[in-house]
Structure 1
């Protein structure tokens, strides 16, 4: 067994938040759900951090371009009102973004968000890259996110990594980045949080 495979196997317990998806919504459902924000173009790196160990469990990227989507590579988030195609979540209104954040924050994890302003051209490039990326294998969430960002003009210096916290540290160096952290202290069970969030969105 070569060194690369051994390294990837060692990463799996650390990246348990990155799982293989498999959802693919119909085009008509996606079209009906699209959300176009009046806010300036931006990208937001989400990093889910273990409260006990400080290690990262998942990376994802919100992109506010001609529509607002979340590139959620190998992610576990789902909601009946949020269509998904190849690890891209559609219809990301402020309400859905809050639900996404809340679903990942719980007793054992908190969420770090790093907001980075983009030009309209940069945002559209990021958006197109997310749509073209295709599904991501489990444990490759940070790697896939870093590789996407590297292809945006002006962000070529972002280093690739398999570690969400390392990617977070790369984003911390970017000009204009604004960081916030979000905590909740409900059940440690991610699936329970997703279920409750889905019920709340359906009720609204």
Structure 2
């Protein structure tokens, strides 16, 4: 029964799809696009939630520390203007963040962002863990995110789960969380969404 449930989970998490086989960006390019958002250090968990049944399809973690990146484990977001190394997207400017959310939000899904203000030390730990984690297997996006968060001081009580909305519910009960929901009514898939993104040169 457990084996059957595991296969059912993998089949259901469509947004945690096998990422396209593309070359990773060079260290030089990653360094060239480094961007930090103004304001405090933050951790933002993004959950892609079905508009039809409320179930989660994907989990990602945005870290704003010495630079802003998105840990997108087993994600399907691929854009030639957004450098990636082993499931980490670099150079997350406001335009890239808007494009990332827009690519995931459509008539069938919306994006829930849960943001926590953290110390520079907490952000540094999260960034180090994200950039040394390595690529994540298909359907393990939430497991990888909880595994990372549970190693960050102050988040050690985050419980491991394979289900995006279970992590979302955990985080909703934590003090200091700022939650935002993002909706669009586009048709198509995330591949269509990424193709429609226009980023500045």
Within 5 Å, give how 1:26-175 maps onto structure 2: 26-175=26-175
Q: Does 1:11 align with 2:9?
A: yes
Structure 1 runs of 4+ off > 4 angstroms? none
- Assess if the C-alpha contact under 8 Å between 2:77 and 2:190 holds in 1: no
**1:4: Cα distance to partner?**
4.6
Residues in 1 aligned to 2:2 and 2:133: alpha-carbon distance in whole angstroms: 23
Conservation of the 8 A alpha-carbon contact between 1:14 and 1:55: no
- Matching residue of 1:177: 177
Instruction: Give SS of 2:138's match.
Output: coil
- Secondary structure at the residue paired with 1:12? helix
Quick one: distance in 2 between partners of 1:20 and 1:121? 32
Following superposition, the deviation at residue 36 of structure 1 comes to 2.1
- Tell me if the contact between 2:61 and 2:70 (Cα under 8 Å) persists in the aligned partners: yes
**TM-score normalised by the chain length of structure 2:** 0.95
> 3-state DSSP class of the match of 1:113?
strand
**Deviation of residue 14 (structure 1)?**
2.0
Q: How far apart in 2 are the matches of 1:110 and 1:38?
A: 26
Structure 1, unmatched stretches of 5+, are: none
Q: Distance in 1 between matches of 2:141 and 2:59?
A: 6
Q: Tell me the C-alpha RMSD between the 2 structures.
A: 1.2
How many aligned positions are there?
199
Cα deviation 1:134-169 (Å, max 9, x = unaligned): 000000000000110000011011010000000101
